[in-house]
Amino acid sequence: MGDRRALLFVPLTAALSAAGHELWVRHGSRPIAGG
């Protein structure tokens, strides 16, 4: 079970980080803590 979660967690985290960073750059505001 743990392995399955890891396989999903990694790409999801990367996608959220990329999306959050892109929004942060576009809006030019501080990043949202806790996402």
User: What pLDDT score was predicted for residue 17?
Assistant: 93
The whole-angstrom separation of Cα 24 and Cα 27 is 5
Residue 1 resides in a domain: yes
Helix (H, G, I), strand (E, B) or coil at 22: helix
- Identify the H or E element spanning 4: helix 2-27
Q: Specify the number of domains making up the chain.
A: 1
User: What pLDDT score was predicted for residue 3?
Assistant: 86
Which residue in this structure is represented by tokens 């501080």? 30
Residue 34 resides in a domain: no
What is the residue-level pLDDT of the chain in tens, covering all 35 positions?
678 888 989 999 999 999 988 888 887 766 565 55
Sign for the CA dihedral angle at 21, 26, 32, 35 comes to: negative
Residue numbers of the domain that contains 21: 1-25
